[in-house]
C-alpha cells in the first residue's frame, strides 16, 4: 500500500512524539486494513444513480498507529462523502474497534462521483418528509460497510508491525490536478470589476 506524503508526515510526527520526554523508549507499530466497499450492481450512486459497472472497485483503506497513548486511526474511503450522523457512526465504530476515541479517528472520503454517499441524517429527513430520492439516501449498505470496516480494523491489530524506518518522496504531478473554479475577472452591470474564484 502506497502511503501519501501527508500520511508520511503524520507518521513521522507520531514516530518522534511517541517517545518524547520518556525515559523508556516507546515502540511504535502500524496496522493496515483494506476492504472492498463497492455497492452491489443496481445500487443508487451519487450522480449516476445506478451502479452498473462490474469492473468498479471502491476501497476503504487505512492505518492504525499504535504507540504511546490511545491508537490513532487514519482511514480513506472511495465514496463521494460521509456526513452528519453517518460520519459520527463511522468514526465511532472505527474508534471502538481500535480501542480509542472518536477524536483520534480521521475519516476521509475521496469524492468520486461514481460512488455512494453516506448521510444518515439526510436518510432520516428524506424518509420523514416523504421526499423523492429516498433510494439515494438509504443507508443499509453503508451500515454494513461500517460494520465490516470495524471488523477489518480489529483484525488488523494482531498483525501490527513495528516501525523501524520512515521516509517520504517527492515528484512532479502532471496532467492530473485541476481546478474547476477558473480565476477570472468579470464586470457587473454597474461596471464594477469582480474576481470569480
Residue 42 pLDDT more than 50?
yes
How confident is the prediction for the chain on average, in pLDDT? 83
Residue 4 pLDDT more than 80?
no
- The range of the structural domain enclosing residue 114 comes to 5-196
- Average pLDDT of the segment spanning 16-45: 79
Confidence band for 3, pLDDT divided at 50, 70 and 90: low
Give me the pLDDT at residue 173, please.
79
Higher pLDDT, 80 or 132: 80
DSSP 114-167: SS-EEEHHHHHHHHHTT-S-HHHH--HHHHHHHHHHHHHHHHHHTT-EE-----
pTM: 0.76
Higher pLDDT, 16 or 164: 164
DSSP 21: T
- Average pLDDT of the segment spanning 157-183: 82
Chain segment 182-196, per-residue pLDDT in tens? 555 555 556 665 555
Residue 21 pLDDT more than 60?
no
CATH of the domain at 74: 3.30.365
Confidence band for 197, pLDDT divided at 50, 70 and 90: very low
- Average pLDDT of the segment spanning 38-49: 80
Cβ burial, residue 33 (10 Å; 0-12/13-18/19+): buried
Give me the pLDDT at residue 80, please.
93
Whole-number percent of the chain with pLDDT over 70: 73
Higher pLDDT, 193 or 86: 86
Do 138 and 105 touch, CB atoms closer than 8 A? no
Cell 464586470 sits at which residue? 187
Chain segment 102-153, per-residue pLDDT in tens? 999 999 999 988 889 999 999 999 999 988 767 778 899 999 999 999 999 9
- Average pLDDT of the segment spanning 59-68: 96
Question: How many structural domains compose the chain?
Answer: 1
Amino acid at each position: 500500500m502506497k502511503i501519501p506524503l501527508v500520511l508520511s508526515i503524520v507518521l513521522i510526527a507520531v514516530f518522534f512524539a511517541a517517545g518524547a520526554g520518556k525515559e523508556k523508549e516507546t515502540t511504535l507499530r502500524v496496522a493496515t486494513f483494506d476492504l472492498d466497499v463497492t455497492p452491489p450492481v443496481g445500487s443508487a450512486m451519487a450522480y449516476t444513480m445506478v451502479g452498473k459497472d462490474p469492473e468498479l472497485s471502491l476501497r476503504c483503506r487505512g492505518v492504525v498507529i499504535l504507540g504511546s497513548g490511545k491508537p490513532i486511526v487514519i482511514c480513506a474511503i472511495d465514496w463521494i462523502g460521509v456526513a452528519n450522523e453517518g460520519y459520527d457512526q463511522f468514526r465511532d465504530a472505527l474508534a471502538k474497534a481500535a480501542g480509542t476515541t472518536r477524536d483520534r479517528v480521521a475519516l476521509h472520503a475521496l469524492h468520486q462521483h461514481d460512488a455512494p454517499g453516506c448521510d444518515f441524517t439526510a436518510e432520516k429527513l428524506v424518509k420523514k418528509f416523504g421526499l423523492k430520492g429516498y433510494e439515494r439516501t438509504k443507508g443499509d449498505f453503508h451500515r454494513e460497510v461500517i460494520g465490516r470496516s470495524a471488523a477489518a480494523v480489529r483484525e488488523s491489530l494482531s498483525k501490527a508491525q513495528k516501525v523501524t524506518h520512515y521516509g517520504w518522496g517527492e515528484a512532479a504531478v502532471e496532467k492530473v490536478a485541476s481546478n474547476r473554479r477558473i480565476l477570472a475577472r468579470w464586470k457587473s452591470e454597474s461596471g464594477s470589476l469582480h474576481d470569480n474564484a
